Amino acid sequence: MTGRALARCTTAAVLLVAVIAAAVSFIHIQHLAVTRGQGQLASVLLPASIDGTIAAASLVMLRAARAGLGTPWLARGMLTLAVAATLAANVGYGLPYGVPGALISGWPAVAFIGCAEMAIGMVRRVSRAAEPSVPVAVPVAPKIRVPSVRDIRARQGCSQATAQKVRAEVKAALNGSADG
């Protein structure tokens, strides 16, 4: 399987899980809202706002990963809150049917976030691998001109022999890279 085909299959799998999770989660949260006294409009908007926040935060994180940026803290925080909300609502929906009902009802939220994080992690690793290991523009140290004996004598007011020693020491410190 080529890299492009693998990327398409990965995207399709994540989207399939996302659609299934969103549909099941929507039904569970909408039913809970109606049975807990919410109006018809609120019962439709509430699950859309929770699952929409998961989608929005995941997409922000994916965009940041593709750009090679760090994960925005607000996206991570909103994703955490929305996942907690959908997980709580879905588990709460299945709780009247005991632990198995709670686990089955909570699974779509877990599956979605797991698949989304795997996909985002893959994008991050690909972004890092594409970065060059050596900087494109390697800065070159400027060439330092060692002052002449005459300049050293004039500036320091020292003898010819002292100026020659100073110049030799400066040149040695620069490993002979300076021009003479």
DSSP notation for 31-100: HHHHHTT--HHHHHHHHHHHHHHHHHHHHHHHHHHHTTPPPPHHHHHHHHHHHHHHHHHHHHHHGGGHHH
* pLDDT reported for residue 81: 95
Question: Helices 3-35 and 40-66 meet at what angle, rounded to 10?
Answer: 150
Look at 7-16, 78-87, 130-139 and tell me which has the smallest mean pLDDT: 130-139
Same domain, 170 and 91: no
CA-CA distance, 97 to 4, in Å (whole number)? 43
Residue 131 has pLDDT above 90, yes or no: no
28 domain residue, yes or no:
yes
Write the pLDDT tens digit of every residue in 148-167.
888 888 888 889 998 898 88
* pLDDT reported for residue 111: 83
Same domain, 97 and 145: no
154 domain residue, yes or no:
yes
User: Which pLDDT band, with edges at 50, 70 and 90, does 178 fall under?
Assistant: very low
* pLDDT reported for residue 179: 47
Q: What is the mean pLDDT of the chain?
A: 83
* pLDDT reported for residue 180: 45
Same domain, 70 and 152: no
The residue among 112, 130, 148 that closes a domain is 130
How many helices (H) and strands (E) the chain has is answered by 6, 0
Same domain, 116 and 144: no
Give residue 93's domain range: 3-130
Same domain, 125 and 144: no
**Structural tokens at position 156:** 């320091």
135 domain residue, yes or no:
no
Same domain, 80 and 45: yes
Write the pLDDT tens digit of every residue in 41-59.
999 999 999 988 988 998 8
Same domain, 17 and 93: yes
pTM of the predicted model, to two decimals? 0.60
Same domain, 165 and 76: no
Same domain, 118 and 147: no
Residue 118 has pLDDT above 90, yes or no: no
* pLDDT reported for residue 117: 72
| Residues 89-93, mean pLDDT to the nearest whole number | 93
Same domain, 122 and 145: no
